[in-house]
Chain A
Amino acid sequence: MNRRKKRSAGAAGKGATMRGILRYLRPYLPYLVCTVLLAIVNVAGTLAVPYLAGRGIDCILGAGEVDFQALFRILIAIGGCTLAAAVSLYAMSLCNNRVAYHVLSDIRTDAFKKIGVLPLRFLDGRAYGETASVVITDAEQFSDGLLLGFSQLFTGAATILGVLVILFFMRWEIALIVVCVTPLSLFAAKFISSRTYKMFKEQSEVRAEQTALIDEMVGNLKTVKAFCHEDENMETFTKINDRLEKCSLRAVFFSSTTNPATRFINATVYALVALLGAFLAIATAGSAAPFTVGALTAVLNYSTQYTKPFNEITEVVAEFQNALACAARLFALIGEEEEPSDRELPALSEVSGEVGLEHVFFSYTPERKLIEDLCVTAPAGKRIAIVGPTGCGKTTLINLLMRFYDVDGGRVSVDGRDVREVTRRSLRENFGMVLQETWLKTATVRENLLMGNPEASEEEMIAAAKAAHAHNFIMRLEHGYDTVLGSEGALSQGQKQLLCIARVMLCRPPMLILDEATSNIDARTELKVQDAFRKLMEGRTCFIVAHRLSTIENADLILVMKDGKIVERGTHKELLAGRGFYFDLYNAQFAK
């Protein structure tokens, strides 16, 4: 009962996947129809050749018994069929490629688009590599297996059908043998693949284990070298590698027995057809409708043509399974619930910058409560600092302000308007954000700086870079502002952070979020940047998260957080006078 349920659920899932695939195929319907028509032409042309060749051989009976005139006609027909088959095959490949690569691109773009609209809760919930692999690898395998497989499948099926028709038309006895015996090769293939399934599973498990090790050790190679851990790594690696070698050998070998096994069955079919054909030829010799040598040749040829697509179809079916699984993962991503649309909502405009958090409740997982009943009001243009030990919820607060996450209870408001009642875009445009984790695109310095304000002039950009004390080191780069920043390499964390600061300086939004914005910058440079920051912060509502308490002493309000709650609030002076948690933190910092 349970099992049946599961199966029907699986079938429904498959149905949904198929519907999804059809949706993507619809725009290319003409090409698909062309593929099918061309496949039919190709199969017809291909199959006509052995028949014609057989007829030709019948024109060559023996010395002095050659009907050259008939032979020429047949040879011309062979040429025509060959041309038709070749041209249709090429055209079919082109159509098929077009469908495959266009659908691949479409589906990838949709999946990518999804990354832009999915809630962060979803994206943070799984490894980025996993999501990226769906967009890249799964899409690729889907396109390879399903779409390129489609033409193979169709051609194969058409060939089998065509051969059967011709065989029955030529000699039903032989057709019967072929029909009865050939499916044996399908059974053999199925038998082998069901036996090798477990071996492949084992292989992929061991391979995953090895990939994880490679990922970890090569990814952190510098640490490995610092601790001279190379030999230990090699030892672990070799152990896994040996195991992988063993189970790969099993999987690869046993799966490769399919071809010889089916070839053997085909050879048997061939022998049977030859036997029966020869007997028929002897029996009908001299009769009104003799089974000629040419016909025997054609029949033998067809029997091999008939078995080949069987093998191909078996392979294609296996790939189909995999492709369907990939498609299912793709559609799962594409079908994932998006952040609710805010297109109908008004934009947040002419913001003065008053921010309020009213009775906010929030947690990432229901089991672990994080923020409970948090109330803060930040008047426009004021500087709010948030301090507290690691993990106290500072960064979470920023996630809520930027609406990366939505509150579980209570509300966050800007100028008295609930942030959920305006578009996310307009909300975020009103915030400038510098995070501790600097993120720069693999693009030129210029593109990175202009990210927030593409209209800024060259002078404005350079002024911002100078204010952020980034201009000098940018000029020292190989191509100055046109240097392409890679994911690894040239810039230090601090320099990256200076670029991020310059980037925000170009936007001049009414509200600022600085999450450890200067954590990677030394104090002296920071002091210099501070001036620029001060100018930037003027008249703007700022939220500042910092370890370094000296950077927040001038804040209008300091919130001291601990375990998701605000334990103290006030100005620097008030808090010091209170001799509480802040006092301890502060003294620890400057203790002699």
Chain B
Amino acid sequence: MKYLLQALRTYRREAVLSPLFKLFEVALELSVPLVVAAVIDVGIANGDREYVLHACLLLVAFGVAGLGFALTAQYFAAKAAVGTAASLRSKLFGKIQSFSFSQIDGIGTAKMITLMTSDVAQVQTGVNMALRLFLRSPFVVFGAMGLAFLVDVRAALVFVAVIPLLAVAVYTVMGVCIPLYQKMQGRLDRVYLSTRENLSGVRVIRAFSLEEKELEEFRTRSGALKKAQKGVGRISALTGPVTFVLVNLALIALLYVGAIRVDGGALEQGQIVALYGYLAQILVELIKLANLIVTVTKAVSCQKRIGKVLDMEGEPAVLSEEDGAEETPDPSEAVRFENVSFSYGGGANALTGIDFSVKKGETVGILGGTGAGKSTLVNLIPRFYRAAEGRVLVGGENVEKIPAGILREKIGYVPQKVVLFKGSIRSNLLWGNQNADDRALLRAAELAQASDVLRAKGGLDGEIAQEGKNLSGGQRQRLTIARALVKEPEILILDDCSSALDYATERNLFAALKTLSCTVFLVSQRVSSMRHADRIVVLDDGKAVGIGTHEELSKTCGVYREILSSQERREP
């Protein structure tokens, strides 16, 4: 509730005024039975037509004033709800953007997106309804009870008896349903997962002729969902009948008690009508409330999910102030790994005892088997992940000490997974540097061997569809390289970026990269790419098993020789 209230606080005025105006409206509505009682006990009893007319005009006036109050209340409620949702969305977006890579891995993209879209929307509806109706119901219920006391204390005791019963009934149903709704949501997620997977894996599923089996699984999941839905339905459907029974029992009691009171001369007939009117109002209100409970319950559980994410601590700009052993940095050194170990989420070590240093302007190849830790290694340089042991130094400084923004500004990173954004080629390249002019962009494209992509797509203004779907894999890859080069980075990380490029293009690319003065980390599985490196770090199972030039490694490193021979043995 913390964040919801926090967001609501900005709309304190609206959140107070809306129920307040509702209160006015309710007060008018509650006065109606009193007027009707007067009509009966004074107007009809005395045959006073003028009195009746005036009383009825008063009812119309109540209606007009009620309309005004209601509109005001609706406006404030809408404003508070919409504003709260906007602020929650904004907060979530900011929080999500502040997460570290480990946190992103942990939460998962799909969940973050659902949170920002559907969960926030549910909260908005919930807040709006709560302000408009949720508070209205207690007003009506307790107001009606209060007025009943004004009419007759003895008869009003009926109200005192039935209202707690109603509260218990409504509250119990709500309490039982909330966890059931969550369970239901979980089952719906599984149905959704089946659907998505069958679409994304349609080729494999057909290749293995698994359609029937998948359908069977979907049936099971859909059946489980159905069962959960019916289970919740069975309980939440109780609200209506139970409140109806309770209110009508109260009616019976009221008529009985009223009859005795009237018989004894303590009450008049019209007052019984008024009391009955209050009971009817309570019933109408409770039915509305019952319908509302579902909405509000959903909103509450969505709000909880949002709260959980907002509760998480994002990644701070600086991880630590301390630097361990301080020494004067070597000005010619670009990056140094000092006995670095790392593991994902506390599992087996992905990197163990990595220790090497890279000079400015050097090109270092990172070579190794699948899962040897190549990507992990380079991900530690921009501090995407935090080393568990040891230190990573950039420019002689511990990366944990450098604010993330400044650190990452220095580093051009071309990820393994190609990502482009909807827009134009220019807007994508500008990601590297917002202030780059067209000349710089064109030069970067040229270096990245992407000039032909620009030619094919109509220059810098060429359109890029979402995820770059209108480009081939190779074209996308070259644009992401260009994007990193626009940064004019001190350190360039190419994480297996040439896998979608054909060999001729790759060769030209590396020739072009040679002309730059930046330090390059080159992750690849191809020994042929490694030839462009000044030195090669050979990784095997998270350990650096060899560091040196091609010639040195050919002599000393067994793993390197194995990789080499696996790729070179049939060279003509």
Contacts and interface: CB of A to CB of B under 8 A. Distances in A.
B86 A112 contact: no
Contacts, number: 438
B256 A71 contact: yes
B44 interface: yes
Contacts of B359: none
Contacts of B371: 473, 492, 494-495
Contact of B47 (A217, A285, A300, A429): A285
Interface string A8-26: 0000000000000000000
A51 to B, nearest CB: 13
A187 to B, nearest CB: 16
Given A85-B244, A112-B198, A249-B82, A220 B63 contact: no
A308 B284 contact: yes
Nearest to B473: A390
Interface stretch (A128-136, A177-185, A364-372): A128-136
Given A267-B63, A296-B40, A478-B347, A221 B117 contact: no
Interface in B221-242: 222-223, 225-226, 229-230, 233-234, 237-238, 240-242
Residue of A64, A507, A525 ringed by the most chain B CB atoms within 10 A: A525
A210 B98 CA distance: 19
A476 B499 CA distance: 27
A444 interface: no
30 contacts: A63-B262, A85-B244, A93-B233, A112-B194, A113-B215, A116-B205, A132-B196, A211-B117, A216-B467, A220-B419, A228-B404, A229-B431, A232-B434, A241-B93, A252-B128, A253-B74, A260-B67, A267-B63, A274-B36, A278-B52, A281-B44, A293-B44, A428-B209, A442-B193, A452-B208, A495-B371, A524-B566, A547-B503, A585-B502, A591-B503
Interface in A159-211: 210-211
Given A425-B209, A486-B108, A523-B567, 4 more contacts: A116-B206, A223-B419, A245-B82, A249-B82
A94 B198 contact: no
B114 to A, nearest CB: 10
Given A49-B248, A123-B199, A404-B203, A71 B255 contact: yes
A44 interface: no
Contacts of A267: 32, 59-60, 62-63, 66
Interface residues of A, number: 164
A105 interface: yes
Contacts of B280: 50, 301, 304
B435 to A, nearest CB: 12
Interface in A266-304: 267-268, 270-272, 274-275, 278-279, 281-282, 285, 293, 296-297, 300-301, 304
- The secondary-structure label for the interface of chain B is helix
Contact of B416 (A132, A493, A524, A525): A493
A389 B344 CA distance: 37
B44 A521 contact: no
Contacts of B273: 57, 293, 296-297
Interface stretch (A28-36, A76-84, A410-418): A76-84
A351 interface: no
B168 interface: no
Contacts of A428: 206-209
Nearest to A247: B82
A328 interface: no
B337 to A, nearest CB: 19
Contacts of B562: 524, 527
B56 A525 contact: no
The 5 closest A-B CB pairs, nearest first, are A494-B370, A267-B63, A63-B265, A93-B237, A260-B70
Q: Give the residue among A136, A211, A228, A230 with the most B Cβ atoms within 10 A.
A: A228
Contacts of A216: 421-422, 466-467
Contacts of A217: 97
Interface string B253-290: 00110111011110011101100110010001000000
A314 interface: no
B334 interface: no
